[in-house]
Structure 1
Amino acid sequence: MPLPHVKSDRRYTSAQQFAYEELRAWILNGVLQPDETVRDVEIAEFLGVSRTPVREALIRLGQEGLVEASASRMTRVAPLPLDRASHLFQVGATLDALAAELAAPHMTESDLHLMRGLLDTLNQTTAPDRLSALDEEFHRVYYRRAANPVLIETLDSIDEQLRRIERHIWGYVRVHEEAYEEHRVLLEALGAGDATGAAAAARHNWHRSWQRIDELLKPASAEAAQEPR
């Protein structure tokens, strides 16, 4: 079970919250991979806490569907939730399109400048975790300009649930190239104040994202499921 080279310097109110936040970040950001065994002794030693807060953190993560107990009673990182992802992408496509439509008439030059910079950086980046983060930052610029806090909260929740899958898919060069072009078209529509075009571009980006995941990750997931544990 590989762990990070350094511990986070963030401060928490309790050892349990510390263990929970660290483990959760490792899972979402791909430090701990799907189906990987999680050993509370190693984690406790690495974090400098006792095993009790680590076990409590694992219970919380289990309730969130991020870890699960295997047949041998070992705890492991949960597989990627690909079946649920199809529904999340369906809802996300509609809501992201709405955010783009609402935001388009109100985008400022500062917003567009920031998005251009993020898109340029995305085009020059290859690390999957960084690409995933840049993608989220890009979308959040116009989420904020949509000025609908309920919409933003819902989209943030969907993005968080999809983060593990998105990080894996960004490792493919084809995804990187196609996504760059989809984001460029979206940015162009936002820059022109074209609400209809921006909504269509945002919806297309989400639909293509799911199609790529379905093509690239589902076959590997099905093959892994047939292997004996």
Structure 2
Amino acid sequence: MPLPLVKSARRYTSAQQFAYEELRSWILNAVLQPHEVLRDVEIANFLGVSRTPVREALIRLGQEGLVEASASRMTRVAGLPLDRAPHLFQAGAPLDALAAELATPLMTESDLNLMEGLLESMARTTAPDRLSALDEEFHRVYYRRAGNPVLIEMLESLDEQLRRIERHIWGYVPVHEEAYEEHRVLLAALRSGDAKAAADAARANWLRSWQRGEELLKPASQEM
């Protein structure tokens, strides 16, 4: 089980919270892969904590559906929530469209230039984790500008639930080119001040994202 570098446990209120946040980040960001076995002794030694907080963290992650017990009673990373994914993308599409529509007349040149820079960064990388992070930040520029905190909370909750799936979708090269063009269309609509076109582009990007995910991930999951 390859594990990444970690932050110091001293910045957390408890060893359990430290273990929980590190493991949760690794799962959401696809550092730990679906169905990968999780050994509490190995994790505890790696994090520099005892086994008890790691076990408590794994219980919390199990309650969130990110960790599961296998038939052999081994603890492992849960599979991707593909049955839930279409509903999440379907719910996110109109919300993202609304954010784009509300934000369009309020976008500043600084906002648009930031999004342009993020888009250029997306064109220069193929790393799934980096692409996913850039994609989230691209959308958050106009989420913030929309000025609706309830809408932002709903979209960020959906983004978090979809993060694992998005990390895997971005791992396919054809996705990069299609998504780049969709983001380019959205940015052009925002820059032109066309709220309807921006909303349509945002909605299409979300719906097409799941079409790509379904085409790419479901066949792979059936082979596992």
For normalisation by structure 1, the TM-score amounts to 0.96
List aligned pairs for 1:207-226, cutoff 5 A.
207-224=207-224
Q: Which residue of 2 aligns with 1:175?
A: 175
Question: Following the alignment from structure 1 to structure 2, what is the Cα–Cα distance between the partners of residues 48 and 60?
Answer: 19
Residue 138 (structure 1) aligns with: 138
Q: Percent of counterpart pairs with the same letter?
A: 82
What SS does the corresponding residue of 1:216 show, helix, strand or coil?
helix
What is the CA-CA distance between 1:223 and the residue it aligns to? Answer: 2.0
Q: Counterpart of 2:73 in 1: which secondary structure?
A: coil
Q: Could you report, residue by residue, the CA deviation over 1:202-223 in whole angstroms, capped at 9, with x for unpaired residues? A: 0000011000001000011122
Whole-Å separation in 2 of the counterparts to 1:112 and 1:172: 27
CA-to-aligned-CA distance 1:161-197 (integer Å, 9 cap, x gap): 0000100111111100000000000000001111100
- Gap regions ≥5 residues in structure 2: none
Query: What is the letter of the counterpart of residue 64 of structure 1?
Result: E
Deviation of 1:7 (Å): 1.7
Residue 31 of structure 1: how far off its partner (Å): 1.1
The alpha-carbon deviation at position 131 of structure 1 amounts to: 0.3
Distance 1:124 1:221 in 2: 29
> How many residues of Structure 1 are paired with residues of Structure 2 in the alignment?
223
Offset, 1:67: 0.4
| Structure 1 vs Structure 2 CA RMSD | 0.7
Give the letter for the 2:100 counterpart: A
How far did residue 9 of structure 1 move? 3.8
Structure 1 runs (4+) greater than 6 angstroms displaced: none
Q: Which runs of 5+ in 1 are unaligned?
A: 225-229
Matched, 1:70 2:70: yes
One-letter identity of the residue aligned with 1:98: L
Correspondence 1:7 to 2:6: yes
Match of 2:201 in 1: 201
Aligned to 2:82: 82
Alignment partner of 1:80: what SS?
coil
Tell me which amino acid in the other structure corresponds to 1:166: E
In the alignment, the residues of structure 1 paired with residue 104 and residue 63 of structure 2 have an alpha-carbon distance, to the nearest angstrom, of 38
Alignment of 1:46-61 (within 5 A): 46-61=46-61
- What does the per-residue CA deviation read over 1:140-167, in whole Å, with 9 as the maximum and x for residues that have no partner? 0000000000000000000000000100
Q: For 1:95 and 1:88, how far apart are their aligned partners in 2?
A: 11
Following the alignment from structure 2 to structure 1, what is the Cα–Cα distance between the partners of residues 23 and 175? 27
Deviations 1:78-127 (A, max 9, x none): 00001100000000001000000000010000000000000000011111
Q: How far apart in 2 are the matches of 1:57 and 1:194?
A: 47
